[in-house]
Amino acid sequence: WPDAGPKELWKRELGDGYSAILADGGRLYTQYRGDGKETVIALDAATGKTVWEHKYDSAPDAGHVHEFGDGPRSTPLIVKDRIYTIGVSGTMHCLSKEDGKPYWTQELWKDEQFGGNKLNHGYSSSPVAYKNTVITLVGGKGSSIVAFDQMDGKVIWKSQDFANSYSTPKLINLDGEDQMITFMADEIIGFNPGSG
């Protein structure tokens, strides 16, 4: 690159947040906060123009520490023709990658079946794909980790009692065995991604 850096092709404002930007098929995908709502957005990679947006109410939970912003903090996940997102208050969406229409939603913190522990800076873990599931950290008793069916959002399995943290699981293969490794609140754990 020259001293001045690479040539700028375009720029535009979005909103607040820490989500990374995904590139796929000539589009860019991310999520941000603006006007009190969280927004998942698809942009044309060549121009930065909006292709579609999915906006929803998602106020940070009581006790949220606002000093470092109100998120979102999780990075979306693309699997084939779908995009999976999790907002700062634990609202998880499965959207069409083509037009942003929702296929299903789960409430990782508000749904009593999960009982997840809420964090001072909001939900931050990114979802991870494994075979036909999308795996999330929740932090509830018996549902520390939850695997959802990618197509319909039904719970495939939930497992463990560890409190959640801000980390994202990492898939590894050790001696032919798949494991997911992650930091929980007080431990580093390895778990079977097929069963929890």
Q: What pLDDT was estimated at residue 178?
A: 97
| Token reading at 109 | 């913190």
- At 12 the pLDDT is 95
Q: What is the DSSP string of 18-86?
A: ----EEETTEEEEEEEETTEEEEEEEETTT--EEEEEEEE-PPPTT--GGG-----SPPEEETTEEEEE
Task: Map tokens 């720029």 to a residue.
Answer: 11
Per-residue pLDDT of the chain (196 residues; tens, 9 = 90+): 899 999 999 999 999 999 999 999 999 999 999 988 999 999 999 999 999 999 998 877 777 777 888 889 999 999 999 999 999 999 999 999 999 999 999 999 888 889 888 887 888 999 999 999 999 999 999 999 999 999 999 999 999 999 999 999 999 999 999 999 999 999 999 999 999 9
Q: Give the global pTM.
A: 0.94
SS3 call for 157: strand
Residues 142, 86: Cα–Cα separation, whole Å: 21
